[in-house]
Amino acid sequence: MSTNPLPPGAGPANVAVLGLPRLPILGWNAFTGARRSALPSLLDMPDVRFTTSGRAAIGLALRAMNVGPGDRVLVPTYHCPTMVAPVVAVGAEPVFFPIDRSGAPDLGALRAFDTSGIRAIIAAHYFGIPQPMMTLRTFCDERRIALIEDCAHALFGIADGRPVGQWGDYAIASLTKFLPVMEGGCLVSRNGLRGMPRLRQQPFGSQVKSFANALELGARHHRLRGLNTLLMRTFGLVDELRPARNSDAAARARASGEGRSRDWLNDFIPESTLGCTSTVWAQWCAHHVHRERIVALRRRNYLHLAEITANIGGVWPLRSALPDGAAPYVFPLWVENPEPAYIAMRKAGVPVFRWDEVWPSRPTLSTDCGREWATHVFQIGCHQDLSSSDLSRMSEAIAQIMSQASAPAKTMMVKA
């Protein structure tokens, strides 16, 4: 995952390299606008347990329920492997269920499953578009299955008339996807978190490094007016003195679970640090960034991308409409000829990724949209630190890339 411009000539033919941030970055604008948003947030809940990541929050929820060897946990076929790794890490067996065209669990298929030994189900609000939860809640109650509401993509929102995060027995979120921080997640529970062990603080050096990386990324993108030059000179000197220092982009990729790795379980175990809380900086941001700007600009950017990509050949919005109760994480774009397009977009610096690398034991299930989504659905950045000009440049790059690819006719179209 690169947040920096690529060298000249590194991108596809005749496509300018963009160098746009893939996730929110620290800048003075993070503290403008209304402190609270009209849309509720998981951070509004009375008992929020901050963790090192969203995946660590899943691990803590499973441990709080004493899920372990011999237990089974339902997980969706459309996933980042970091969603599945905590299940395997506690010794449980992941059981994959299909999703329908809207991204909701296929309840018809789930009702036919053998639910013996099933302790929990993980259900996600993909792309930050809240999924209906009332029927799933009833399904879980009837079978005494705990619901872990995965809000990694939906820090804000309303689902079936209730704030996201309040349908699940537990709910998790990822701070890095919505806030200008390098790491962090959170765990909440509708029944409270009393009795859960207190998490320890991360070492002081890790705290300083996380804050420094956020500063460096903000300065590199010129978002800290008055400090950019000074900060870049300082970090340049540090680079000279410590040439082997990991890049902030690599650190951000690890924190967000968006890097590519074949050994997801071993990645999870040392990184999860289940006994640690997120950094003081991440927690401070969670309480002090101005949320209305986050919600308003993400909604604006999503709708803008839906409009400007609608007429590009070979691609179309997976969900062109945006519910009133949504603050999107990304804009989901269906790409008909995905392989050459994905490589080209990454080289061009489009803030894009997809979930094409999945847990090895994921089966092929009838009526499932998850397998197609893993290949064809590109998650395009629409966060609050992308301007309208940035979005126009992105759409121009996507249009040029698709015009260079031989996109077949629109067959096998999947829409919600």
| pLDDT per residue as tens digits for the range 76-116 | 999 999 999 999 999 999 999 999 999 999 999 999 999 99
Q: How many residues does the chain have?
A: 416
| pLDDT per residue as tens digits for the range 168-210 | 999 999 999 999 999 999 999 988 888 787 888 999 999 999 9
The dihedral over CA atoms of 369, 326, 155, 380, expressed in degrees to the nearest 10, equals: 60
Structure tokens at 394: 């992105």
- What domains can you pick out in the chain, each with its CATH number? 42-189 (3.40.640.10), 291-404 (3.90.1150.10)
| pLDDT per residue as tens digits for the range 47-61 | 999 999 999 999 999
60 closest CA partner among 168, 228, 186 = 186
Calpha distance 163→158 (Å, rounded)? 4
Calpha distance 205→184 (Å, rounded)? 16
For 327-360, give one letter per residue: b (16+ CB within 10 A) or e.
Answer: bbbbbbbbbbebebbbebbbbbbbbbbbbeebbe
Structure tokens at 45: 């809940």
Residue 253's pLDDT is 47
End-to-end CA distance of the chain: 29
pTM of the prediction?
A: 0.88
Q: For tokens 């990645």, what's the residue?
A: 267
Centroid of chain to Cα 375:
17
Calpha distance 239→398 (Å, rounded)? 34
Residue 363's pLDDT is 93
